[in-house]
Amino acid sequence: MTFTGLFSTTYAAPDMKEAKRFFSDWGLKKIAEQRDGVIFETSLGCQVIIRPPGSSLLPVAAREGMNFREMVWGVSSKTHLAKIKQELSRDRKIDIHTDGSIHTYDPAGIGLGFRVWNPPKANKETSRASINSYDKTERVNEIGAAYQQALPLRMGHIGFLVPDLKEEEKFYRERLGFWLSDRYVGGAAFFLRCAAKSQHHNLFMIWSESGALRHHHTAYEVRDFHEVFGGGVAFDRKGWETEVGPGRHPISSAYFWYFKNPCEGAVEYYTDSDYLTEEWKPHNYRVNRFSEWHLVDGIPLPEEQRIRPSMSAAGKY
Ligand SMILES: [Fe+2]
């Protein structure tokens, strides 16, 4: 009985055409489209749902004007789902959807849901490229992997800026059983994982100095660092703007590349995160350091080589 990861995220999209083009260029597959929304999927079946801001199907915004609306976490069994429902219904309203998923809001008002979801096992399609190093030769008489387009496997983590970190940490750890991985001293941020054995973090929250609640970013795991760089260059060439990267995080050790999401916040390609178990001892980091190294503007190409997608290209959807 455990959480299996972040299953879906839902946004209100102020410009549906632009948002459709964005997530399609990002490497997600469109699996459904109706007037009131579009569903995209990663290769392991995580979903991104975008809806017009006026859609009655959107969960309520945590604050006025916030386009991020909901995160849904996968759980391994109906028994776990029932336990979460029982626990959370003690002090909040729970909606049950026809697919069996349950939906509510966290203490900050962020839309929060749960459903049974067991991601597929790793296979040849999900495996990283082989690597050669001085001590190990994995690739012999074979040219290394090159990616013309990233195809994200899953959404590995999500982050928010919140005014009251203590209340959020208490909720996710005590009510849902998330594990503390690391934090910054003085209550500046915490990193949680949804299961004892998991990548370094699945949910992180940073204290919002301004008091404004904000979705920070959602991270999409790709197969290896070749895909972070190859996918990032391809996305840049399609005209989407780098927020920060490529670079390497000191916390989690992952390689990353962030791009601005026209719906809200950012999206991140990442790979090679630390993986923790019950044995891990959380740190209290003194210095709030986002990256070990990074380029602020990615690797911009000369202007004449940049391809800007036109609105007519978006019309194919
Ligand atoms: Fe991240």
Q: How confident is the model at residue 317 (pLDDT cuts 50, 70, 90)?
A: very low
Domains of the chain: 3-118+153-297 (3.10.180.10)
Q: Is the pLDDT of residue 222 over 70?
A: yes
CA of 94 from ligand 1 middle (Å) equals 29
Residue-wise pLDDT for 123-150, tens only, equals 888 999 999 999 999 999 999 888 999 9
CA of 142 from ligand 1 middle (Å) equals 32
CA of 185 from ligand 1 middle (Å) equals 19
Round to whole Å and give the CA distance between 201 and 251: 9
Query: Are the C-beta atoms of 215 and 68 separated by less than 8 Å?
Result: yes
Q: Is the pLDDT of residue 299 over 80?
A: no
CA of 136 from ligand 1 middle (Å) equals 29
Percent of the residues in the chain that have a pLDDT greater than 90, as a whole number: 83
CA of 268 from ligand 1 middle (Å) equals 6
Q: How confident is the model at residue 218 (pLDDT cuts 50, 70, 90)?
A: very high
Residue-wise pLDDT for 41-86, tens only, equals 999 999 999 999 999 999 999 999 999 999 999 999 999 999 999 9
Q: Give pLDDT, residue 304.
A: 63
- pTM as predicted: 0.94
Residue-wise pLDDT for 174-185, tens only, equals 999 999 999 998
